[in-house]
Structure 1
Amino acid sequence: MVIKKDTMKNANNRSVFQTIINKGPISRNQVSQELGLNKVTVSNIINDLMKANFITSIGEGQSTTSGGRRPELVQLNAKFGFVVNFSVTDDQIEIMSNQFDGRTLEYTVTQSKAQTLQQLFQNICDSIAELPDFETQNGLCGISIAIPGYVYRGNIIDSPFKTVGNFNLQTALQEKFEVPVVIENASNLSAVFEQDFSQQELVNIISLTVGKHIGAGILINRQLYKGYFGRAGDVGHMIFKDDCQNVPLSQLKPIETEWSEQRVLEKLQDVLGKDFSLKDMAQAYTQQDPGVTKILDDFCYHLSLIVNHLIISFDPQMIFFNSEIINELPDLLRVIQLNLSYMPLVPPLVFSKDVHFSALLGGCSLVIHNVLNMEHIRLILHH
């Protein structure tokens, strides 16, 4: 369905709505004091938001110390509708449905053999058709897709999926479901998640995602920085050489060919056996197994090279690490910090708030912003 968003065209309307989303449940008087707006103006805006079902009343709050009528409290209407978010790779599709305050309604994973964008389109349509009735007022309101690759103005430029003809995945989904569709690089969405699902004031941050690929989601002044063609943050394709011999750059391998998380896990198989778990890896490292220690220290060294360049290039407030290996073995983050200790200023290096679902939740946030016509406005969502 198409949502009428005229209510959000006025700056005061947006400010009132933002305050209700971020600080609700809240009274009309509190909104007026927070924004310095006339009480009548605030009350009229809140009435319009309630008529549009964007917000809802939850009843009366505490009375003031001087007594009198208890104020009505309002908050975002989480059941306004739902959004469905996909994280796709060459072998599986993760599907998460969320209500309008960000909270998860359902999460599933399906195996996928899609090789083209047309096949991926059909898989997404089938997944949406199988969703239960979430009993929301407006049903499906938006779709987001996290991909390994980069996107330029809605067009997928690089991904595991081939494009046949002039097929455009975003356009096809928008025409079929008549809702906004956001397609974005998974690392970029992880950075959005770290900001929008946090109470902290995060202005300039980087989310370094280490999985099958290595990517950096970059937020500058709270906005995604994607570069001109959408390739900013594709740090897994950085090239480094270990000797002084000059060779053509085309002969140098991108860093992720040897030091992506998937490649590191393959190397660990030679030491720990094919069926090892991350807990086995952590235990072997703690016990200073020489083979495991060598692989993981080299892993940390190459990540430190990437982080060095990110700090010099963007001077971030904080760098989040999104890695299953580092999440299981926190000591590795300290190794990276020690590797960078020669630098005069190193921002806090911290763990992602959710290694598993950050890209899905970042997509959830972007598409909710789009549906509400609140792009580039800070909204604090819940997880």
Structure 2
Amino acid sequence: MIINKHIMRTTNEKQVLQQIVNAGPISRSQISRNLSLNKVTVSDIYSQLLHEGLIREVGHGVSTRNGGRKPVMALLNVGYGYVVSINILRQRFSMITSRLDGRSENYASVSTRDVDLTTVLDMIDEKIATTVAESDNRLLGIAFGLDGTIYENQILGASLKGFKNFDLAKYFSDKFQVPVILENLANESAIYERDFAGEGVYRNLISVTIRDQVSAGIVTEGHLYRGHNGEAGNIGTCPLADRYQEKSMQTVNQYVAEGTVLQRIMAYQKLDHVDVNRIRRDYLGHRPELLAILDEFSYYLAKVLGNLSNTFAPDAIIVNAPILELLPEMMDTVRKYVDDMSIIRKAPLLLTKNAKEASLKGGASAIIHKALGLDDLQLTFSNQRSAVLEGVES
């Protein structure tokens, strides 16, 4: 009924499985009531899911007021298999494995500095193969996230050299014989905010991701909005007027992208690497050079967020940026600059609770949806792991 030959086909089957994923432990009678389906239909589907090993029974619930047998309760069997989610950035790739309930494990970050595309692919291949060899469960799917334009599982544009028009999905699907999906980092972050924040908390949201590029993942009425050929959210290439000379224009990436800001910080610190402890120490010590750089970043980021807020009127805008996770106090400055703007709609501006893993976990959710045949249905996962900042991408 799932995975490969057993793809879920009917609406009823999908909805029963969705109930068990989102509301388990749950009984057949409760599923029947929730979906307004007759008990025979639910029992048939339930029995098939149990036979496939996708769900497991976990004891009995409470009997009704009228007495009778206590109902058998069922949960998703998270031991059925696992998925892998990988983010490929300019000088590193990161990876997690996730169970079917969205709980992530085995975070790893691997440097790819001065490494060509072929070697990067070999490194990823080896990392996945090692994971498969060491696991007692089945690999059910792989998700890849990267900066760029992705449409119908193809890379139409990418900031990473060699990835444009390369069929990354087929390359790894052929190697590991599992479904592979591609998504850009901002869309993955938006999926994370939708699926891990709690059901219905954000039906309309924008996740702004600041990495090699500045991009936005847009969720409208619970669904990801991709636009023409997946081009929605490519805000990094939009022009912004210079703060001091309005006739002078630069792109959002040139003002706000992570690399630009970090290069300016390293230049004033006279370092050839990013020292997150030094950045934090200089910020708390009110070093004027650093404060000036961060004020510029905050000003231009506020322009981007204010325009998004006024244009899309989301329930919230969530910002995913390692520099802001390191210095969360900066969000007060960003909010102040947005408040100064003459716009009608000013959505709540929030920091993601998991900058390091948000896009990875969003990718995991996307491939879990695919593996379970529930692409078009809402799944809600608990945010069961908190990330600790290990460093800012450089």
**TM-score of the aligned structures, taking structure 1 as reference length:** 0.90
- The match for 1:134 is 135
CA distance in 1, matches of 2:352, 2:163: 33
- The match for 2:196 is 197
Structure 1 residues 93 and 227: CA distance shift in structure 2, 3 A:
same
CA distance in 2, matches of 1:244, 1:68: 75
- The match for 2:333 is 335
Q: Quick check: 1:2–1:178 contact (8 Å CA) kept in 2? A: no
Residue 257 of structure 2 corresponds to residue 260 of structure 1: yes
Q: Which amino acid letter does the alignment assign opposite residue 288 of structure 2?
A: P
Summarize deviations over 1:184-231 as a string: whole Å, max 9, x none. Answer: 111110111111112141211111111232111111222222221222
- The match for 1:32 is 32
Residue 370 of structure 2 corresponds to residue 374 of structure 1: no
Alignment of 1:5-24 (within 5 A): 5-6=6-7, 8-24=8-24
- 1:277, distance to aligned residue in structure 2 (A): 4.1
Alignment of 1:56-205 (within 5 A): 56-112=56-112, 113-116=114-117, 118-131=118-131, 132-136=133-137, 139-159=138-158, 160-162=160-162, 167-201=166-200, 202-205=202-205
Residue 313 of structure 2 corresponds to residue 315 of structure 1: yes
**TM-score of the aligned structures, taking structure 2 as reference length:** 0.87
Structure 1 residues 333 and 102: CA distance shift in structure 2, 3 A:
same
State the SS of the aligned residue for 2:317. Answer: strand
Structure 1 residues 314 and 345: CA distance shift in structure 2, 3 A:
closer
- The match for 1:325 is 323
Q: Quick check: 1:279–1:328 contact (8 Å CA) kept in 2? A: no
Q: Quick check: 2:98–2:104 contact (8 Å CA) kept in 1? A: yes
CA distance in 1, matches of 2:246, 2:88: 40
Structure 1 residues 183 and 120: CA distance shift in structure 2, 3 A:
farther
CA distance in 2, matches of 1:340, 1:306: 9
- The match for 1:3 is 4
Alignment of 1:43-54 (within 5 A): 43-54=43-54
Percentage of identical aligned residues: 30
CA distance in 1, matches of 2:230, 2:274: 37
CA distance in 2, matches of 1:167, 1:258: 29
Q: Which runs of 5+ in 1 are unaligned?
A: none
- The match for 2:236 is 236
State the SS of the aligned residue for 1:56. Answer: strand
- The match for 1:299 is 297
RMSD: 2.3
CA distance in 1, matches of 2:69, 2:270: 70
- 1:163, distance to aligned residue in structure 2 (A): 5.2
- 1:259, distance to aligned residue in structure 2 (A): 2.5
Alignment of 1:200-219 (within 5 A): 200-201=199-200, 202-219=202-219
State the SS of the aligned residue for 2:4. Answer: coil
CA distance in 1, matches of 2:373, 2:11: 11
Summarize deviations over 1:331-370 as a string: whole Å, max 9, x none. Answer: 2112121112243331111111210011111111111111
Summarize deviations over 1:37-76 as a string: whole Å, max 9, x none. Answer: 2222222221121122221111223344554322111011
- The match for 2:391 is none
Q: Which runs of 5+ in 2 are unaligned?
A: 385-394
Alignment of 1:345-356 (within 5 A): 345-356=345-356
Summarize deviations over 1:134-173 as a string: whole Å, max 9, x none. Answer: 222xx11101111121212222122213159x75221222
Residue correspondences, number: 373
State the SS of the aligned residue for 1:70. Answer: coil
CA distance in 2, matches of 1:161, 1:76: 41
Structure 1 residues 276 and 121: CA distance shift in structure 2, 3 A:
closer
CA distance in 2, matches of 1:10, 1:379: 17
Between stretches 106-115 and 312-321, larger displacement belongs to: 106-115
Q: Quick check: 2:143–2:364 contact (8 Å CA) kept in 1? A: yes
Q: Quick check: 2:3–2:372 contact (8 Å CA) kept in 1? A: no
